[in-house]
Each structure stands twice: as C-alpha cells, then as structure tokens.
Amino acid sequence: MPLSRGFSSIGPPGRILPAAGIAFLACLLVISGCTAPVIPSPLPATTTAPPVATTQAPPPPATTRVPATTPMPSYLTYSSPENGFSISYPSGWTVQEGKGGSVVTFTAPSSGMGSIPATVKISVEDISANPMGLEQYKNAQLAKRQSLSGYNIVYDLFYKGTGYNGWKIGYTYQSGTLMKTFEIYIMRGTMVYTITYSSKEDQFAAYSQQFDTMIKSFQLTG
C-alpha cells in the first residue's frame, strides 16, 4: 500500500512520524552531540602570606660602675724578742716605744683626721704577784674603765687569734670628743698582753681595715 504524502516511514513499526518531527529530532541530536557542557573552572585558593617575624635588637648592657678603691698601705713588722711578740703596722705610721707605760705605740698620720689620730698600742703585764684567770683579769679591767667620762660598753666577747685565745672588749667614752676603743687581752703563763686600738668614734670605721690587719698579724714568739 503506498505511503501517504507528507509522512515519513522512520519510526517503530506501525507508527508514522510527521516529517517536521523528524527534522526537529535530528536538530536536537546534532546540538547535543556538538555542544559540551561548560564546567566553570575552580577559583584559585587565596594564599595568605605568613607573617614575617621581626627580630628586636637586645637592649644595650647596663653600665656597671666599679667603686674606686683606696690603695692599702704597705706594712712593716715590729718585733720585741724580750717581750715575746711581733706585729705588722702600716709603713706610714710612727712607732714609739715606752709611751704611756706601753711596750710600743703605733700612731696614724693625723693629716685629714683632725688633732686626735688613731693609735694601736701593746702593753705587757706580769701578774705573777696576783695570779688570776683571763676572764677575771678582763672583768677587773672593765671595772677600771667605768670611771671614764661617758663610759659605755659596746663589746664583750671571747676572742680567738692566730695561735692564741683572748678576750675582747669595746667601749666609748668622752675625752674632749667621743672616742671608741677596743682592747684584746691575751694570757700566756703569768704574762698578759693587751692590744689597744682607738680613734675618734666617727673615724673608727675609716681605720677598721688597718686595725684588723694589725690585730690579725699579732703573734706570740719565743
């Protein structure tokens, strides 16, 4: 049987598609085969630059001030073989033997220290006629010092020296000005050695290092 005009035989059996529909399908196939879907490219990730570390210069070192030191004097040695002792003393100090009943007296230069310079003296007493112990002797000396004007004791203690033991007292008193005195009593047999160092009270600290050097150098000999 001949086909009717205006219809296509393309299509499943028993179904006749119009020619316009066939053309439309053909166009869809062409368009779908030639045009690929457009996929947007991903945006590049934003990169944040790491923070730049800053290095601070260390602060300048603090200035250290070194206090000026007063040079210590050189020392000489005084020996008394007949009394059995030796002691060192500053080279600039004067030495007098037999002054005021002492074996020897060392006197500091008076320059810059007023009219009453510091002194260190050593006395030796034989107590064989009235023997006593060291502490008893010290107490007897303290009793005598109480008659001094403005007397005030500031120190009373057992003392250990180089190769000997002793007793040490310290006191202040008035003698036209306030004075400060320390005494060390050392006993060997029936002989008592007394080291006395003294100065104006307000100058005592200025002499303390020289006093200390002299006392530590004291030795019993013979």
68 vs 54, residue with greater confidence: 54
3 state SS of 34 = helix
Average pLDDT over residues 44-57: 54
Pick the residue with more confidence: 136 or 67?
136
The closest of 75, 82, 86 to 220, measured between CA atoms, is: 86
Dist CA 155 CA 100 (whole Å): 24
Domain total of the chain: 2
Q: Which domain holds residue 187?
A: 76-220
Residues 106, 14 within the same domain: no
Q: Which two tokens stand for residue 88?
A: 């060192």
Mean pLDDT of 193-214: 96
**Domain match, 32 and 80 both:** no
Residue 88 and residue 18 share a domain: no
pLDDT of residue 189: 94
Q: pLDDT category, 149, cuts 50, 70, 90?
A: very high
Q: Is residue 57 part of a domain?
A: no
Confidence bin at 128 (pLDDT 50/70/90): very high
Q: Are residues 114 and 189 in the same domain?
A: yes
* 27 shares its domain with 87: no
The residue type of 96 is Q
Mean pLDDT of the chain: 80
Q: Which residues of 131-168 are buried (b: 16+ CB within 10 A; e: fewer)?
A: eeeeeebbeeebeeeeeeeeeeeeeeeebebeebebbb
- pTM of the predicted model as reported, rounded to 2 decimal places: 0.67
Over range 119-131, report the average pLDDT. 97
What average pLDDT does this structure show over 161-165? 89
Structural domain contains residue 1:
no
CATH value at residue 148:
3.40.1000.10
Identify the band that residue 67 occupies on the pLDDT scale cut at 50, 70 and 90.
very low
